[in-house]
Every structure is written in C-alpha cells, then in structure tokens.
Amino acid sequence: MPDGSLFGEVFGHSAVDVSDAAWLQAMLDTEAALARALERAGLAAPGAGAAVTAAARAERFDVATLGEATALTGNPVPALARELAAALPASAAAAVHRGATSQDIVDTAMMLLAATALDVIRTQASAAADAAAQLAAAHTDTIMTGRTLLQQAVPVTFGLVAAGWLTGLDEAVAALARVRTERLAVQFGGAAGTLAPLGTDGPRVAALLAAELGLTEPVLPWHTARLRIVELAAALAGLAAAAGKIARDVTLLAQTEVAEVREGGGVDRGGSSTMPHKRNPVAAIAILGCTRQAPGLLATLAAAAEQEHQRAAGAWHAEWQPLASLLRLTGSAAAWCAELLGGLEVDAAAMRASLDAARGLPLAERAAAVLAPRLGRAAAHDLLARASATAVTSGRPLRDTLRAELAASGVDIPARDIDAALDPAGYLGAAAVFVQRALAAHYRSTRSPGRRAGP
C-alpha cells in the first residue's frame, strides 16, 4: 500500500500490504493458529491458544531487532518464536512453535499474505473488467481503424477493442480465483516433512491448523515442492500481462498524432515538468512501470522452484522478496487499471477521422473480394495493389484510383458497388457478435460465487 515513500504511490497504488509489519503479523498469526490447533487436538494446555493469540501482535515486536537475528539464523522465525514464548506463561509457551520448523511458519505466512492480497487484487481487477464492459457496450458500433504491426489494417470497432481488454481481465481474474480457492495451502511438516515430534497426531493438527487459518490442507507438506508458488506467480503475471496490454493500447491511442482516447483525471493529471501543454497518460504509464517487472519476478520464482531433498539451501530464501514484490506490483497495476478504464475518454470523431484519412486503403481487402468474381482472385488482388500504390503516392482516395484502374482494364463496375465496397460500416464482420459474446461471458462471471471475495 502507499507508504509515503518516493515511489510508493506508483508501485504500491493499492491496499495490498506486503510490508515488514504485514509479514510479521502473518507469521504471528500462524504461530497463534498452531497453538489453537494444538489445544483443539488436546496437545496443549487449556487456554494456551487464546493466550498465544493475545500475545501474537506485531506491534509488540521490534522488526529491526528481529532483522538482526535473521542474519544469524537465515530467517526471522527462531528469534520470533523465542520472543513470543518469553512473553507467555510456561503452560502457554509450551504451545509456541510445537512440531513446526521455520519454513512452516514463513511459508504459511506467505500463503496468508497472498490470500489477503489476492482478494484485494481480484476486487480491483474486477472493477477494471466492469469498466471495460461498459466501454465495450457503449462503443459496440464505434468504428475505428484496426492496426496490425503498427500499420493501419481493416476497420474494427472500439467496442471490440474494449471487449478484448475485458476478456483478458476476466480470464486473469478467473485464474487468480482458482489459485485463491485451491492452491493456497497451509505448510506444516516439521524438520523434514514427517511431523515426527507430534507422532500420529501430526496430520490431525495440520488439518486443524488449515481450518484455523482458512487455507487449503495439502496432501502432504510441500517444503521443496514449489508448484504452488509458481502457479501463484504465473496467475499474477497473467493479470499483469492483461493490464499491460490495455495500458500499451492506451498509450498508443493517446499519442498526439492519433488522439483517439484520453485519460481522465482533470487538469492536474499528466503534467510535464517542462512542457505545460502536455497531458501524459499517467495511469497507463504507471501500469506499464509495474507490469514490466512481472516477467522477471516470475522467472526468478520459477528458477527457485528447483529445490533439493527435503529442505532447500537458498532457493527457498530466494522466493520471499520476489513474491512479495509481484503481489504488490500486480495489485498496483490492477488498481491503476480500474482507474484508467473507469475514466477513459473515447473520441469517436477522431477515430472516424483517422479511418477517413486513410483514403479508403483499409478497405482494399474488401474491394478485392468484390472484384474477384469478375476478374478472378489473383487479378483482383493485383489490380487493387496497383490502385493502392497509386493512392499512396498521389494522395488520392482509393475510390478514384480504383475507378481509373478499372477503366484502364476495360472492366465496368457500377460506382455504387465500389462505394459500398469501400464503406467501413459494411466490413466489420462479426465484431458486434464478438462484443456481445464477451459481455455475456463477463456477466456470467459476475454472478459466479466468490468472484471478488475469497473462500
């Protein structure tokens, strides 16, 4: 979340909290839940769970002191467990960290942080999808130039463009929902994944711990089986990709020479330090600043998934900061995306002007199809290629150069047929159908249980 730092409002533009305090509280929550689970299993004194829970508050601990101790043990849990136990009577202290290893606490804390973050991220991404749906519905018939390889292609509608944004966001939200529901699991295996200190009670305590924390109970401890982390990271990177595609489209459509869309936000948004006339697409730029970092973080987490034997030497440690950063950056991108799409200004007149400025060239494909029955496909293509080349070099409309080529070839095509062939409104194919399909899929997803909230 925005933390008052210089770049916090750009890269932490959401309520996702992966600060040191959040990590610390998540670890304490895990220790407290373990004490309650042990008490429920009859393995801790009555009242031990409540006592540990009352003491497990982050503000009671000094992060800097724990950080110094982390340099001695490789992670903060040993020092944290000692301090927590020291604050309790002996009967309750005996329940602190019983049966657990440090990785159990850190991994479970990481799952808790991810669960909270995913709920926030899905809410923001769903808001962005709702805004995209509104744009798609409002502009189903708004004709604009389609662009392939950064060159003008055939006509499309802005509704179809927004529908593409919508579908990307909806699919990303669905992937995050699956991870949130199915893949965030408690970690409880002890030193080498056997829970030997708890004997035959180990699996029962693990199940109770999962229930206490609202996390999935895994089939077995996953200390060096890191597919859950990779799947979480991939789902986050997927949303980052969907948001980044939207932001890149907006930056291109908002260029001065194009000016088909503008960001909202008022006169104070998008200012330049030296050029008073500029209105930069700040939200889109901020999204890209966040999402460009996601692939590298995903790659780091995927590389760290190769872990040896029962506990890894270094690869586990390599996950902590990249995953926290990926959660924070994806949350920021989702929040910026909701803001961007919620205030996006669409200039339909500019879109039509850009299309008209192409002098009919984007309709050359359709004109060739109209001529093919009379001339044959290859001859029609070659004739349109010559007419298009002349239109480009002379600056004349394709309509005029096409008529000249037809006359020179002795082909008589009624002018009304040529005009119809060069009408962009008649060459939109299934654009409107695709928009409606995207909207229907979106509205179905909004009615699905738990779209925004976690399980």
DSSP string, 293-352: THHHHHHHHHHHT---SSS-SSTTGGGHHHHHHHHHHHHHHHHHHHHHHHT-EE-HHHHH
* Distance (Å, whole) CA 230 – CA 235: 9
Query: Could you tell me how far CA 280 lies from the centroid of its own chain?
Result: 23
271 plus 394 within the same structural domain: no
Of 272, 394, 409, 448, catalytic: 272
Which backbone phi and psi does 143 adopt, to 5 degrees? -80, 140
- pLDDT tens, position by position, 78-126: 999 999 999 999 999 999 999 999 999 999 999 999 999 999 999 999 9
415 plus 288 within the same structural domain: no
Is the pLDDT assigned to residue 267 strictly greater than 80? no
268 plus 405 within the same structural domain: no
Last residue of one domain, picked from the residues 350, 383, 407: 350
164 plus 246 within the same structural domain: yes
Please count the other Cβ atoms lying within 10 Å of the Cβ belonging to residue 38.
Answer: 25
25 plus 90 within the same structural domain: yes
Within-domain flag for 356: no
Within-domain flag for 30: yes
| Tokens coding 283 | 């939200």
Compute the average pLDDT of residues 242-267: 93
User: The pTM is what?
Assistant: 0.93
Question: Residues with Cβ < 8 Å from 252, sequence gap 6 or more?
Answer: 147, 258
Is the pLDDT assigned to residue 453 strictly greater than 80? no
User: What DSSP character marks residue 181?
Assistant: I
Within-domain flag for 55: yes
146 plus 290 within the same structural domain: yes
Last residue of one domain, picked from the residues 350, 369, 387: 350
Name the band, by pLDDT with cuts 50, 70 and 90, for residue 454: very low
294 plus 382 within the same structural domain: no
Say if residue 206 is exposed, middle or buried (CB neighbours under 10 Å; 0-12, 13-18, 19+).
buried
Nearest to 10 by CA among 393, 333, 423, 242: 333
Nearest to 331 by CA among 390, 290, 387, 299: 290
Strand partners for 144: 156
272 given a catalytic annotation: yes
Name the band, by pLDDT with cuts 50, 70 and 90, for residue 270: low
Within-domain flag for 289: yes
Residue with tokens 């270094």: 314
Q: How many domains is the chain built from?
A: 2
- pLDDT tens, position by position, 164-194: 999 999 999 999 999 999 999 999 999 999 9
Within-domain flag for 428: no
Q: Residue 451: what pLDDT?
A: 56
Regarding predicted confidence, which is higher, 454 or 417? 417
Average pLDDT, the chain: 94
Q: Residue 275: what pLDDT?
A: 46
223 plus 300 within the same structural domain: yes
Last residue of one domain, picked from the residues 350, 376, 395: 350
- pLDDT tens, position by position, 386-444: 999 999 999 999 999 999 999 998 888 888 989 999 999 999 999 999 999 999 999 99
Nearest to 139 by CA among 445, 436, 361, 444: 436
121 plus 256 within the same structural domain: yes
At 143, the amino acid letter reads: I
Within-domain flag for 303: yes
% of the chain with per-residue pLDDT over 70: 95
60 plus 173 within the same structural domain: yes
Residue with tokens 């711990």: 209
* Distance (Å, whole) CA 428 – CA 315: 52
* Distance (Å, whole) CA 137 – CA 166: 11
| CATH code of 204's domain | 1.20.200.10
E strand intervals along 121-253 = 143-148, 151-157
Q: Give the number of residues written for the chain.
A: 455
Q: Residue 455: what pLDDT?
A: 36
Within-domain flag for 433: no
352 given a catalytic annotation: no
Compute the average pLDDT of residues 67-83: 96
Within-domain flag for 436: no
315 plus 365 within the same structural domain: no
346 plus 365 within the same structural domain: no
Of 40, 311, 386, 451, catalytic: 311
Domain extent for 219: 8-350
Compute the average pLDDT of residues 66-86: 96
Compute the average pLDDT of residues 292-319: 97
- pLDDT tens, position by position, 197-232: 999 999 999 999 999 999 999 999 999 999 999 999
Q: Residue 363: what pLDDT?
A: 93
